[in-house]
Amino acid sequence: SYFKIDFPNGDIAPNRGKAEDLIVRAYRSLEIDLQVEVHADLRENFYAYPQIFGSKAPDTNIDHRRVQNLQRFFTRKGQVLGVTQDSEDYSFGDIVIWQLLDGNKHIGMVVPGPGVKKTEKWVVHNIGDGPRWENKLFDYSIKGHYRYGD
């Protein structure tokens, strides 16, 4: 959904967020503002981004909240890593883009599992029921694997 938000450091209410908002918040905790970084790249390279939203210009309210734009940003500015079905190829903090059964794209971050499972590769994501910490790295078709930031 579209919301008018501040720039920089704009955010919507956490109970109204989606997967992309979760990723933006995770990076903000590392002092990386994807709202600012995506906007800056989009402003300079608008036509390098998917032209599927009917936008005529960059929009600080929504661009960083679209998985297709985040995927393009991470492809352009981050490390593009191999897509495999081996959890050893994924590191904590990596970004994963999935294609869901309905064709929509989804985004999550690789994180440690809980407690005694802390060496397992789990994901944090929000697929519509609020933020979830789950053992679902390979539950959907992975279409992108990225690393961004230090």
String of DSSP letters for 77-123: HSEE----S-GGG--TT-EEEEE-TTS-EEEEEEEEPSGGGTTSEEE
Residue 9 lies in a domain: no
Same domain, 112 and 66: no
Residue ranges making up the domain that contains 45? 14-78
Same domain, 84 and 107: yes
Q: Of 27, 49, 78, which residue constitutes the final position of a domain?
A: 78
pTM over the 0.85 mark = yes
Q: Of 25, 45, 78, which residue constitutes the final position of a domain?
A: 78
Phi, psi of 142 (to 5 degrees): -80, 125
The CATH number linked to 110 is 2.30.30
Same domain, 31 and 88: no
Q: Is 70 left (phi over 0), alpha (psi -120 to 50) or beta?
A: alpha
pLDDT, tens digit, 9 for 90 and up, residues 68-109: 999 999 999 999 999 999 999 999 999 999 999 999 999 999
